Amino acid sequence: MKYLYPDDNEIQIRLRYVIEFALKNLEQIKDFAAYWKEFDNKAEKFEDKIFAEAATVVYTAKRISGTFKEIHNDLDGLIEIINPLIRSEYNFRLILKNPWYANTIGQGSILLTAAGCPDVEWDNLISNSFKFKSYDFKERVIFRQFDKIWTKYLVSKNYSKEETRILLDYSVLKSGTFPGLMDTNDIYALTHTIIYLTDFGNTDEFKLSGDNHLKELVDLLILWSLLHEDYDLLGELLICSVILNDSFNDYSLLGWKTYTYVWDSLNFIPSPGFDEDIFTKLDEKTRRAYAFKELYHPNFVAGILSALLLIENQSDSGRKKQYAGKKTDPDKDLIRQSIISSDKFLKMHRSPEIQTGEFRFCKSVKTETLLKSVIELSGEIRNFQWLKVLPECGLNKKSEMKIAFESLIMLCIKNHDLNKLLVTLFQYYDNSGTDGAMYLYGLKYLIFNQKADGSFYNSDASEISNIEFTFTANSLLKSVL
C-alpha cells in the first residue's frame, strides 16, 4: 500500500522546532564543551562534529522552496551562529598543517558553500587540499570511503564513479545480509552509504531507487529499529526510505507514526546512548551539556528527515520509478543444494509420523497471538510504542499479520531459536505463502544451520525431533522453487 507523506504544515512545524533546538543549544556550545573532557587531547574537537551535523541540516533544508520564508529565515540565523565556529582560525590552520583534515574538519565549510554560503579563502583551501594527492592516505571502512567520495562530490559535483562501483561490490548494500544478523553498526553503515551515494536524495547516479531488494531491506530494518526502540536509527532509515521511494508504505508509515508519537510525547527524539543514571548524578550545568551531547544527533536527523519530506512534497510524483529492479533473490541454487542434502537424510530415516506429509503445527493463527510472541521473545523491558501506534495506522489485516510474522522471524534469528523459527516460517507460509523477503531470509538462516548429514540443528530435540524438523524445513524450502 502507498500512503501520502504528511502535509507541509506539520513538516514545517517539526523542521522549525529542530532549527530552534539547534539555535538554542549552539549558542551555549562553548559552555557545553568545557564539560566534554574526553575530547580535550584531540585535534578534532567533538563540537566540530556537531557543527558539521548542523551544517548538514542547513544544506538539506536550503533545498526547500523559497516560498517557505520562515524556514529560510531560521536557517539564516543558524548559519550566522555556525559559520564562524566552523570557519575558525584554529580549524583553518589545522587544515593548512595537514590537508587530510579538509575531509573532516573542512566538511562543515564544504556544506555551507554547497548551501549557498561560500567563503573564498576557505573554498580555496579545500580545493587545494583535494588537489594535493598525498592528502588522502587514511585507511577507512567502506562507508567512510563513501563519506570521502561524497564530500569531494559536493565540491566538484562529480562522483568518482569507478572507485565507487568497486567499493559498492564490497559494501553492506551488496552483502546479502539481513535483519537478525545485522547489528547497529551494520545498519548505520547501510544508511550512510545510501545517504552519501544519493547526496540526500539529490541524485540517483547509482540507481539505488531502482533497487527493490534494497528497498525491502530498508523496510525490514525500519521494523528492526522499532523492535529495538532505536529512534536515532529509525530516523536515518526513514530518511533512506524517503530517498528511495515517492510515498510511505506499510513499514515507513508505521515507522513515521511511531517516530512522531515518541517525539510528541517527549518533545524530542531520544538517544539510545542516553543514560538516566549518569544524568541524575550530574549538576545542572553538566546535565545540560550531557543531554545535548547525547540528543543533538537524533534531533538533527529529525530535522533532515523533515526537510526531505518537505522537498518530496514539492517534487513530481513518480520520478523514482524510472528503473526496474529485482526483489530479494531466493538464491535457488543454495536452496536446491540444501533440499538434495535433506532429501538424502530423510530417505535414510523414514518415520511413520511424517510419511503422510501431515504437519502437526497449528495452522490457524491470529495477529494478536503473534504480537504476544514478539513481546515474549524481545527479552528486555521495552515500551513497545509501535504496538500502541499500529492500530492507528489503518493498515489492512494482511499487512498487520505480515509485520507480526516478520518481527518474529527477526527475533528468532537474533535469539537463535530454531524451533520457534521453523514453526513461524511454517505458519507464515500457511497464511501468506512465500511472499516477503523476511520469509526467504528465514529459510536461508535454516540452511546455515544445516548439518553435514542433511538434517538441521534445532533448539530442543525433545520438542521437535530431528526427522520432523528436517521434513518440515525440506518442505518449506521446496515451497519457493
The predicted structure's pLDDT at residue 361: 63
The predicted structure's pLDDT at residue 133: 72
Count of other CB atoms within 10 angstroms of residue 131: 9
Question: Which of 29-38, 115-124, 228-237, 349-358 is the least confident region?
Answer: 349-358
Summarised one tens digit per residue, pLDDT across range 131-178 is: 887 667 778 899 999 999 999 999 988 888 899 999 999 999 999 999
The predicted structure's pLDDT at residue 322: 46
Asked whether the CA dihedral 120, 126, 131, 134 is positive or negative, the reply is positive
CA distance 409 to 418: 10
Summarised one tens digit per residue, pLDDT across range 269-306 is: 999 999 989 999 999 989 999 999 999 999 999 999 99
For the whole model, what pTM was predicted?
0.94
Contacts for 363-369 with beta carbons within 8 Å, 24 or more apart? 363/427, 363/430, 365/427, 365/430, 365/431, 367/397, 367/400, 367/401, 367/404
* Contacts of residue 66, Cβ cutoff 8 Å, sequence gap at least 6: 72
Contact assessment for residue 84 and residue 27, using Cβ atoms and an 8 Å cutoff = no
Question: Which of 93-102, 116-125, 261-270, 452-461 is the least confident region?
Answer: 452-461
The predicted structure's pLDDT at residue 305: 98
What are the grid coordinates assigned to 51, written together? 557543527
Grid cell 530517498 — which residue?
Answer: 243
The predicted structure's pLDDT at residue 341: 96
* Contacts of residue 29, Cβ cutoff 8 Å, sequence gap at least 6: 47, 50, 85
What are the grid coordinates assigned to 103, written together? 575531509
> Would you give the DSSP letter of residue 323?
S
CA distance 94 to 82: 18
DSSP 48-105: HHHHHHHHHHHHHHTTS-TT-HHHHHHHHHHHHHHHHHHT-HHHHHHHHH-GGGGGTT
Domain map (residue ranges) of the chain: 8-314, 332-478
Contact assessment for residue 76 and residue 90, using Cβ atoms and an 8 Å cutoff = no
367 pLDDT exceeds 80?
A: yes
325 pLDDT exceeds 90?
A: no
Question: What's the average model confidence in pLDDT over 404-428?
Answer: 95
Better-predicted residue by pLDDT, 352 or 77 = 77
What are the grid coordinates assigned to 130, written together? 583535494
CA neighbor of 390 nearest in space, from 226, 239, 280, 228? 226
